[in-house]
Amino acid sequence: MAKIDVVIPAYNEADSISRVISDIPKDVRDIIVINNDSTDNTAFNAQQAGATVLHENRRGYGYACLKGMEYLSHKKHKPDIVVFLDGDYSDYPEELTKIVAPIIENNIDFVIGTRVKHLRERGAMTFPQIFGNWLATTLMALFFRAKFTDLGPFRAIKYDKLLDLQMEDKTYGWTVEMQLKVLRQNLTYTEIPVHYRNRIGQSKVSGTIKGAIFAGIKILVWIFKYSVKK
């Protein structure tokens, strides 16, 4: 059986994190919640729900993900697959099984849960998210002949391939950096349609003008950086 570990960056997700953890399939080996400088009971609630809780005081999605990877690197028995999942309950954690299936059954390297319109709850994605996804995936198709349709945070990757990507972005560019490096290294990838609902609480990125602007800038910087890279 494949060893699957889940990494969940979480900033002020006290109202949702327990639900996320409880809905993750029981065959997952370890659930790692990175408390990203929360000011509420995120860490306590995650620990009570049975997760391994790490603390990263430097705020940023990438910082939190990198903290999770650092933890995995010290494990005696490394995972076969790492799944990244948000802590706001917008994803359906129980769909993890179908996210990892292409890796287990077809030896695919990388899988994104794509938030297709007909499986999305009304209002679950804001206009900045929808436009940002369209722009980023259109540019990736133009520059790299990519077939991505989403920058969805619910994703799975083989652990050894994740290490090979040498991830570095500390904030908003984490997801697009991963996809660009997957393309650059000619890894196999696919998308699996997933359900998506309105998150619990306000988004720290798309829910604020500042967050949306900075996320958009980061995405464009990564894409143009790779478009001119030899």
Instruction: Give me the pLDDT at residue 201, please.
Output: 76
Strand partners, 114: 193
CA distance 4 to 150: 23
Cα separation, 59 vs 161, in Å, equals 26
pLDDT at 220: 77
- Determine the average pLDDT of the residues in 38-67: 97
Question: pLDDT category, 149, cuts 50, 70, 90?
Answer: very high
Q: Are 128 and 206 in contact (CB under 8 A)?
A: yes
Q: How confident is the model at residue 215 (pLDDT cuts 50, 70, 90)?
A: low
* Rounded Cα distance, 216 and 39, in Å: 26
Average pLDDT over residues 148-170: 97
Question: 133 or 29, which is more confident?
Answer: 29
**Confidence band for 207, pLDDT divided at 50, 70 and 90:** very low
pLDDT: which is higher, 206 or 219: 219
pLDDT tens digits for range 180-190: 999 999 999 99
Mean pLDDT, range 197-216, rounded to an integer: 67
Does the pLDDT of residue 5 top 70, yes or no? yes
C-alpha neighbours within 13 Å on the C-beta side of residue 136 = 28
Question: Which pLDDT score, from 0 to 100, does residue 209 have?
Answer: 56
Task: Give the type of residue at 32.
Answer: I
Q: Which value, to the nearest 10 degrees, does the dihedral of the CA atoms of residues 21, 26, 28, 29 take?
A: 100
